[in-house]
Structure 1
Amino acid sequence: MPDIVLSSAVRDNLLSLKQTADLQSITQTRLATGLKVNTALDNPNSYFTAQSLNDRASDLSNLLDNMGQAVQTIRAADKGITSITKLVESAKAIANQALQTSSEYERKLFTSQYNDLLEQIEDMARDSSYKGKNLLAGAGNELEVIFNEDSTSNLTVNPVDFTDTSLDDGLNLDDLDAGGTGTSSFNLFSGTTSISLSGLQASSNLTDLADWATGNIVSITDSSGTTNLTVGTDITTVQDYVDALNDLNGVHATFDEATDSITITSGLDNPLYISKDNTGGGAATDGGDTGGTTTTMTVSPLSSTATLVSSGGFQAGDTITITDGNGFEPASLEIDEETTVSDLVTFINNVKGLDATFSGGSISLIGEVSFDISSSNSDFNRTTLGSTTGIVSLTAAPSEFKSDTDIDRTLQAINAALDELRNAARSMGTALSTVEIRTDFTQNLINTLEVGAGHLTIADMNEEGANMLALQTRQQLSSTALSLANQADQSVLSLFG
């Protein structure tokens, strides 16, 4: 107040106390915040320089988070490539296993296993995404990683497409054709008849019979045509006659000297007619010594319990062989007197990839690959005298593992796919290494920026603590000095005592 006058000493001590209090306030703020520059008023140059450094560190910290997510995206793709490589190596192992067997059926099974692996590869590629980004799923999944705050430093990781193994610019592994199935059938018929040659032996001449003469023609007829045998030219003795009958397709003949008759067993599926004419003399007969008639042999389908040797297409000791389209022989069966139709069906059913059912004298076949059923007996499955072959053939569309050439071609494609996977792994590995290196660099740079900003603004706590003690001492001394100055002014009161 203007009416109150303080001495110079008091005023000086009051001013000193005020300045000390201001300095204490500043020091207390520095001790509380840890900063020697809290506002632009404290030190404009340091404040704004530190703020710029901290702003850049903050921007880089945001980029650092994105880099970390990019690392995980690349790692997900890299893990996917590693697993896909193992699956492709498994596919290669399957192809090599197929190469070790000649069985067409087993190779067909390997084809299915191979296709299953390709499907797993595609599923693996589709599952290798991270936060919606999949570097194994092709176009649209490019990954851009930004390394600095103005986006002038960046890396683009281009994706590959393994979600479709057949793509030419991917693995280029096509699904293999597993082939198809085929059907076939063959009939089992039987018929038996006999021709009497009274008084003859195997070595006897046929012309020893009263009705037989040189030049006579014996005719054997079925639905396919007629076979003629000329007496004296094609057949002379009884044994010649038997041999000629045995040479006919689907017919088996034997001569019994005890009964002086030829027994003929047929496996044909149609009747057989035998007769002899009287060309050159004699008289027409049934092919034996009975005149004026024809021997007719009817046939009927075998039952499941009938023995195979009851048909002219089988004899004891025959070997039935099954071979596939590669010539591989999965099974064979030796026929004996007791082997039945049911035994034959069971034998066929025991062959993997081949199924048989029997009904009405016919065996129906379904095969997953091609098969041939043949016999050491040329009469097997000769249904007519004019049959050109007795082999039962079942044709099925082959798989793409049928031949060694097919498998070798697939192995070449697999090796190329493995090279593609290794290239992709190297590319992903390089990108991953680059991003990780830049991540470490950015972390260190952020630390450098924050330390630099701290050098400009962070207070030295030891120094500020010492300042506070000094100011407290100074405050006490100023208070004492003020008290002394007041005492000097009060000394005048003693004059009024």
Structure 2
Amino acid sequence: MSSILTNTSAMVALQTLKSINSNLQGIQSEISTGKSISSAKDNSAIWAISKVMESDVAGFKAISSSLSLGESTVAVARQGAETVTDLLTEMKGKIVASQEENVDRGKIQSDISALRDQISSVVGAAQFNGLNMVKGTTDVNILSSLDRASDGTVAASNITVARQDLTSDKGTFGTGASLAANSTASAAAVANTANTSVVTLGATWAANDVANISVAGVDLSYTLGTGEGVTEAGVALSGLINGLGLDGITAADDGSGVVTISSTRAFETVAVTTGETTAGNGTTLITALNGTTGLTVTSGAVAERAENVALSTSAAVNEGDGYKVTIGSSSYDYVAGKGETMEDVAKGLKIAVDSAGLSDITTKVTKDATTGQWSLKVDNNGSSMGFSETGNAGGTASGGLRGLEAINVTTSAGATSALENIETMISNSISASASFGSAQGRIETQNEFIGKLTDSLKAGIGSMVDADMEAASARLQALQVQQQLGVQALSIANQAPQSVLSLFR
């Protein structure tokens, strides 16, 4: 049946043409945007995933900028620390030269002062965008990554770079928990009295018997003459020891064969050994311990002259822990920084005491080879002074170059202490340089990884939403042909009712 009201063929042709046009519009959109999924209506799931990944890409671009800024900041700090190391090394050369007596120490001190001022200038200028990593103790966090969990939550990751304080700041002694139990003073006073070793000569001697004694590695002997005995032997041995002219070592006899060997040498134990040889058989007899024959040493060596502050071998050292040594009426303290040990505390206390420039006080840091215990030893060549120690937590750390401003080589004592202390400062600056170098390397590696990760994410997003241009081109050609055919089909279908007119002619 033919109808002029309802043209079914035209309706079918129209729907087909609309479908072709819709597909053609879609493929033209793909070609113009380059995306197969450009909005949520194209594929909501894939579109949502791509948008999340695109936001991550944007975040990683910001992270890359943060890492670049952080790398530059740490690079400046590393360069500053390395420059300080070079200047300290140059200063050490000046200090070594000052150990000689026949030099102009005043001029050397002027050079050292100039180097010290240059170090201060370098430390102050080693900043990037206002951030100075060689001053202060607060760690710096550099944004390094965004970590997305499977449940969609996101957490930021940071690279923590520890500041390395290369200032000469004294620090602030805290008022927190007592740390007095972590250190022990060997005496309540430090005095200049000599330490002694007593050699007792036995009563039975014969002519041509030989008394042997060794003091500080120097061997001495005295052969008894006819009629001589313990009194003459004692006087002779005392004279021989005094005749050596050993610095700080003297001997005295009491007239009855008791020889007292005294030493005022700081930080040095003086070895004393004895023996005797009889004229009859020329053999060395065993030292008699009862004092009736031969020589007896009541102390095998003269102990070093010094008091000490022994530090704990088990207690941890936390940032802000302060230890204080009181000598006479003045106190000298060192406040530890992050990651330091009792070795650092001992060396810091030494520098603190040396920086005071006390004329009669000398110091030394030692480590017990058996227990590993670190100690600060203090010797006094003047009047007796009180001696004590204490400690408290909660302070502000001393700078890594504490005592730099007090280096003074114009005196022999100052030159000696400066040589020991400059080694500590050089060690601190080298450690700072190494720490910054390690951090810079890590930041650089992370930045390279972020760049590669960003590229991978972009590739993944593209594989999901980018259009296949080769396929789109072929599809476009096919749809254009279909459109032309659809238009012709619709035209034919629209002409069908025209045939009805012939029935009314």
Query: TM-score by structure 1 length?
Result: 0.50
Larger radius of gyration: 1
Higher strand share: 2
